[in-house]
Amino acid sequence: MVVSNRSVNPSARRRNFIGPAKMGFVCLLALMVLLVAPTAMAEKYSVTPPTGVYEGKDVKQPIEFPHNTHVKENGINCMYCHTYARRSKVAGIPPTSKCMGCHKVIATDKPRIQKLTKYWEDKTPPPWKKVHDLPDFVHFTHEKHLKTLVFDREFPVENVKEVCAFCHGELENMTVARKVKPLNMGFCVRCHIENKELGAPGDCWKCHK
Amino acid sequence: MSLDNILNNWSDYRKGAEEGGHHDYEHRWTMAINLDVCIGCNACSVACYAENNLAVVGKERFEKGQAMHWMRIERYWDQAADMEHPEQGASFLPMLCQQCGAATCEPVCPVAATYHTPDGLNAQVYNRCIGSRYCSNNCPFRVRYFNFYSYYESAWPSPMEQQLNPDISVRDKGVMEKCTFCVQRIRTVKDRAKMEDRSVVDGEAMTACAQACPTSAIVFGDTMDESSAVSQLWKKHQVKRGTYQSTRGEKANPNLRGYRIFEELNVDPSIMYLERVREDV
């Protein structure tokens, strides 16, 4: 799967007023830009996602959180809840207050939401379990990966789940998150070697600590 | 790291020794230690212990020379026979990994666990290390430390393990370790700079020892940045990287105090020391 850049060419929008004499030249120029730019951008910004599958174990969570309902049916962005992904090393688990922001009114009759409301009223956070856990000797930052793969590529943020899926699998088809990618060194390194042009480092000390 | 990388790293080492710093560095982390203002208080050593999860090994193992002090203060005494107060002849030398440009530890590692980074540092990858200890035997500065025991079992009794630095791993038995120029701090600073689309500013990256030094004897920075404090110091004292120079004795200007330890070995250390100015006792 190769994800190409989908942003609209900005020069196409900026043609406000041009005299008729220059029109032919501008048209030629625009044609050239339109022809050349997509291939150049595709080359520059295309990303080869890491390969490999892994049969992860089921992690039993305190509340069986349905990712599919939130992501697929309601189209909520990954970074709405995992809000720290773009600004820190860890993507983070949302605080219960974020859940309650919606679930004070939405689906309050469901048993899972009632369980959540109980946690909220008892002022105890649900003891969520970590699913994607890297060893302590590995330095991994979500923010830099998102910067390179999403923001610097001008990849549409509303489709960020496609980038998240590189390492986390298609969570829109899962209920409780499950590890489906190996997340071992070979998995990381293969992607880093293939995407050297994007600035993926190959130095041991970039990740090992 | 593939075999190619190992071989390239070795040839880098050889060229580095012969041609003097040919590497295409991103940064060149460098230090200057002013021995004239060093008071031998050991604050740098303590800071290093705290920052880098160094284990306290205990008296007996210390006597066997198994202490894990990445940053140690060496004491030297003047030997003049007619000295009335010999204690006045004490001088201190903070000794840490010199992060050599042409490091002797690197080519002897059979598994390339120690190698040269694009930042000009001698990296030590703990996961890769098999504990052959060749590197420490080949180090002229004796600044590599071997984990003879699983020190973590006794070094941090509960709840002391809570103070461990999460940015650096706790090493286990059979692994070599050494000063990293606080690479976790450098990494954090570089990450932040990258996120803000700028380059690293001088003074942003600071090692724990430099931060803790009460007399600011330790200056740390990037010599690729011409305007950094440490480059200015190196320039001022006319110490150059890469080239062999027997700095001591040949200097016309006695105010130039800069020298590098074991420079005649041509290992191109990254630490410049500024000689202590002695008054007659």
Regarding predicted confidence, which is higher, A9 or A181?
Answer: A181
Q: Give the pLDDT of residue B227.
A: 93
CB B225 within 8 A of CB B28: no
Chain-chain contact of A205 with B183 (C-beta, under 8 angstroms): yes
Q: Give the pLDDT of residue B156.
A: 92
Regarding predicted confidence, which is higher, B255 or A150?
Answer: A150
At CA B208, angle to CA B16 and CA B237, rounded to 5? 50
Q: Give the pLDDT of residue B4.
A: 67
Classified as helix, coil or strand, A138 is strand
CB B58 within 8 A of CB B101: no
The stretch A131-158 carries a mean pLDDT of 91
Chain-chain contact of B125 with A139 (C-beta, under 8 angstroms): no
Nearest CA in chain A to B123: A205
Classified as helix, coil or strand, A163 is helix
CB A172 within 8 A of CB A67: yes
Count other Cβ atoms within 10 Å, centred on residue B90: 11
Chain-chain contact of B195 with A144 (C-beta, under 8 angstroms): yes
Best residue in B127, B129, B171 for a mutation probing chain A (most A CBs within 10 Å): B127
Nearest CA in chain A to B172: A137
Q: What residues contact residue A46 under an 8 Å CB cut-off, 6+ apart?
A: A2, A3, A4, A5
Distance from CA of B214 to the nearest CA of A (A): 28
Q: How confident is the model at residue A208 (pLDDT cuts 50, 70, 90)?
A: very high
Could you say which of B118, B126, B194 has the minimum Cβ distance to residue A203? B118
Q: Give the pLDDT of residue A199.
A: 85
Give me the residues paired with residue B273 across strands: B33, B259
CA distances to B102, B121, B225 from B19, in Å: 10, 18, 21
Q: Give the pLDDT of residue B277.
A: 83
Q: Which residues of A touch B119 (CB under 8 A)?
A: 205
User: Is B126 an interface residue toward A (CB < 8 Å)?
Assistant: yes
Give the 3-state DSSP-derived string for chain B, with helices as H, strands as E and coil as C.
CCHHHHHHHHHHHHHHHHHHCCCCCCCCEEEEEECCCCCCCCHHHHHHHHHCCCCCCCHHHHHCCCCCCCCEEEEEECCCCCCCCHHHHEEEEEECCCCCCCCCCCCCCCCCCEEECCCCCEEECCCCCCCCCHHHHHCCCCCEEECCCCCHHHHCCCCHHHHCCCCCCCCCCCCEEECCCCHHHHHHHHHHHHHCCCCCCCCCCCCHHHHHCCCCCEEEEECCCCCCHHHHHHHHCCCCCCCCCCCCCCCCCCCCCEECCCHHHCCCCCEEEECCCCCCC
Q: Give the pLDDT of residue B238.
A: 84
Chain-chain contact of B118 with A141 (C-beta, under 8 angstroms): no
Q: How confident is the model at residue A25 (pLDDT cuts 50, 70, 90)?
A: low
Q: Give the pLDDT of residue B180.
A: 94
Given a cut of 80, whether residue A27 has pLDDT beyond it is no
Q: Rounded to an integer, what distance in angstroms lies between the CA atom of residue A46 and that of residue A5?
A: 7
Q: What residues contact residue B160 under an 8 Å CB cut-off, 6+ apart?
A: none
Chain-chain contact of A205 with B121 (C-beta, under 8 angstroms): yes
Q: Return the domain boundaries, chain A.
A: 10-45, 67-93+128-207
CB interface of B with A, residues 96-125, below 8 Å: 115, 117-119, 121, 123, 125
- Each residue's pLDDT tens digit in chain B (281 positions)? 456 666 666 666 566 555 555 567 889 999 999 999 999 999 999 999 999 999 999 999 999 989 999 999 998 887 766 677 777 778 899 999 999 888 889 888 888 899 888 888 999 999 999 999 999 999 999 999 999 999 988 899 999 989 999 999 999 999 999 999 999 999 999 999 999 999 999 999 999 999 999 999 999 999 988 999 999 999 998 888 776 655 455 666 777 888 899 888 888 899 999 988 876 54
Regarding predicted confidence, which is higher, A19 or B244?
Answer: B244
Q: How confident is the model at residue A36 (pLDDT cuts 50, 70, 90)?
A: very low
Q: Give the pLDDT of residue B253.
A: 77
Q: Which two tokens stand for residue B101?
A: 């440009």
Q: Give the pLDDT of residue B78.
A: 76
CB B241 within 8 A of CB B98: no
Could you say which of B117, B126, B170 has the minimum Cβ distance to residue A203? B117
Q: Rounded to an integer, what distance in angstroms lies between the CA atom of residue A202 and that of residue A52?
A: 19
Nearest CA in chain A to B190: A206
Q: Give the pLDDT of residue B9.
A: 64
Q: Give the pLDDT of residue A98.
A: 94
Q: How confident is the model at residue A140 (pLDDT cuts 50, 70, 90)?
A: very high
Q: What residues contact residue B83 under an 8 Å CB cut-off, 6+ apart?
A: B89, B281
CB B223 within 8 A of CB B231: yes
Tell me: domain B3-274, CATH 3.40.30.10, correct? Answer: no
Q: Which two tokens stand for residue B13?
A: 């080492």
Chain-chain contact of A205 with B194 (C-beta, under 8 angstroms): no
Given a cut of 80, whether residue A37 has pLDDT beyond it is no
CA distances to A165, A186, B93 from A53, in Å: 12, 12, 54
Size of interface A-B (CB pairs under 8 A): 43
Distance from CA of A104 to the nearest CA of B (A): 36
Phi, psi of A127 (to 5 degrees): -75, 75
Q: Give the pLDDT of residue A198.
A: 86
